[in-house]
Amino acid sequence: MDQTTEGKAGTAVEDPVRIRIVCPVFLDVEPFLALRLGILDAISAEPSLSSAKVGFTVLDDTAGNDPEFSRIRELGDVDVIEPPYNLGH
C-alpha cells in the first residue's frame, strides 16, 4: 500500500504511520497498563516507527463493573468500548 500523497507543488508527502492496538481487559488493569507502556517503548525504539501515531482501543469486558478501569479511561491515547454485559473469553 502506498503511504504517500501529493503535497503542495506536486511534491510527495509521506502519510504518518498509524498503529492501533485492540485489546480486551477483564479485571486486568495493571497488566494492561504495563503492556501499553511496553508497546509504546518498543514502538519508540524502532526508528522507522518512532514518529508513528499510536492509539489503543480497549474492550472493558467487565461491562463497567471494574472500579479500577477509570485508570485506563483517563489515558489520552486509549478509547474504551464498554458493552452492556460481559462478552466472555
pLDDT tens digits for 37-84? 999 999 999 999 988 999 999 999 999 999 999 999 999 999 999 999
Classify residue 12: in a domain, yes or no. no
How many domains, in total, are found in the chain?
Answer: 1
Q: How far apart are CA 62 and CA 83, in angstroms?
A: 8
> How far is C-alpha 53 from the geometric centre of its chain's CA atoms?
9
Classify residue 48: in a domain, yes or no. yes
Would the pTM of this model clear 0.75, i.e. be above it? Answer: yes
Flag whether pLDDT at 7 surpasses 60.
no
Which carries the bigger pLDDT value, residue 29 or residue 14? 29
Confidence of residue 2 (pLDDT cuts 50, 70, 90): very low
46, amino acid identity: E
Classify residue 49: in a domain, yes or no. yes
Residue 53: which domain range?
21-81
Q: Which helix (H) or strand (E) holds 33?
A: helix 29-45
